[in-house]
Amino acid sequence: MKLNQCIISFVVILMTTMTTLSAQNKEEKATQKRQAVKELVRSKNYKIYVNIALPMSGHSIQLSSEYYLEVKNDSLFSYLPYYGRAYMIPYDGGKGLIFNAPITSYQIKKNKKGKYEVTAETRNSEDTYKYYLTIFYDGSSNIQVNMQNRQSIGFIGRLDLKE
């Protein structure tokens, strides 16, 4: 009988210890992820993979192909689909949101809740673009693209943390 009580006590102590260690590991991982996001955003060298498009008119669209937005130093690499109304585009339909261009303006703000708000402006031969990125401390991201010759469009994605 005493042996059973000892075994039960040992199991309870072991489970309590494991739960505490697990909580510490989760906190450490969250801290490491937060630090990685901070370093990537400030380095101006990151990639956001998107999986949902949010056109102004219509429902959200699940994306099956690999689309992304990449910021590399002073350039923006946009490989994003476009769904929406165009007001003035080239005869062949144009490039849409698939282009590479130098960034003309770039600003980073960190708000009190720990998310980064990045504004990047660029232009190419077709249009002028303003990208509003919201990057959360866990790596999830929202992208809003405003253009002069097309309707705005939004995207939901995740920052590539290169783990």
Instruction: Give 102-122 pLDDT, tens digit per residue.
Output: 999 999 998 878 799 999 999
Cβ–Cβ under 8 Å, residues 71 and 46: yes
- Model confidence at 21, pLDDT cuts 50, 70, 90, reads very low
- Model confidence at 92, pLDDT cuts 50, 70, 90, reads confident
Q: Does any domain span residue 7?
A: no
- Model confidence at 85, pLDDT cuts 50, 70, 90, reads confident
Domain count within the chain: 1
Q: Does any domain span residue 14?
A: no
Strand positions, DSSP E, 24-88: 45-55, 61-72, 75-80
Please tell me the pTM assigned to this model. Answer: 0.80
Q: Are strands 153-159 and 45-55 parallel, antiparallel or unpaired?
A: antiparallel
Q: Does any domain span residue 104?
A: yes
Residue 126 belongs to domain spanning = 39-159
Cβ–Cβ under 8 Å, residues 145 and 80: yes
Q: Does any domain span residue 12?
A: no
Q: Does any domain span residue 70?
A: yes
Q: Are strands 97-110 and 116-123 parallel, antiparallel or unpaired?
A: antiparallel
Average pLDDT estimate for 69-92 = 88
Query: Residue 6 has what pLDDT?
Result: 65
Q: Does any domain span residue 45?
A: yes
Q: Are strands 97-110 and 75-80 parallel, antiparallel or unpaired?
A: antiparallel
